[in-house]
């Protein structure tokens, strides 16, 4: 299940990259890779020196999960803002005015004389 979620999140990072949100895309890919590493650590590898309650593991895991929540929030917000801008530009009767429409409304300057 973690592999499928990671594939979805990499697709999400790619979509962010395509809309020009390079920083968010890199952050999403980085925390997704970090989360996959934490999951692998839990399942297949024990951290040397960790106690029987896995304190070191849980410190790393909780830090990773908290960073995932923050990074994914800002990533989804960036994607939503992009979708809103696209929808506003295409909506009939939209209040968004293009720069060419502004220049069409301005009177052209008259030559002196």
Where is pLDDT greater, at 45 or 79? Answer: 79
- Region 39-53 average pLDDT: 81
Name the band, by pLDDT with cuts 50, 70 and 90, for residue 93.
low
pLDDT of residue 48 exceeding 60, the answer is yes
Q: Are 98 and 35 in contact (CB under 8 A)?
A: no
pLDDT confidence of residue 89: 83
pLDDT of residue 107 exceeding 70, the answer is no
pLDDT confidence of residue 99: 47
- How far apart CA 61 and CA 56 sit, in angstroms, is 9
Residue-wise pLDDT for 50-79, tens only, equals: 888 888 888 999 999 999 999 999 999 999
Where is pLDDT greater, at 93 or 49? Answer: 49
């Amino acid at each position: 299940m973690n592999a499928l979620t990671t594939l979805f999140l990499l697709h999400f990072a790619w979509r962010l990259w395509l809309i020009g949100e390079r920083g968010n895309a890199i952050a999403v890919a980085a925390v997704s890779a970090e989360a996959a590493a934490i999951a692998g650590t839990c399942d297949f590898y024990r951290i040397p020196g960790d106690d029987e309650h896995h304190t070191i593991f849980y410190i790393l895991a909780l830090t990773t999960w908290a960073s995932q929540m923050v990074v994914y929030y800002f990533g989804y917000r960036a994607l939503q803002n992009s979708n809103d801008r696209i929808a506003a530009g295409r909506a009939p009767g939209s209040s968004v005015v293009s720069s060419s429409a502004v220049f069409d409304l301005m009177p052209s300057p008259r030559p002196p004389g």
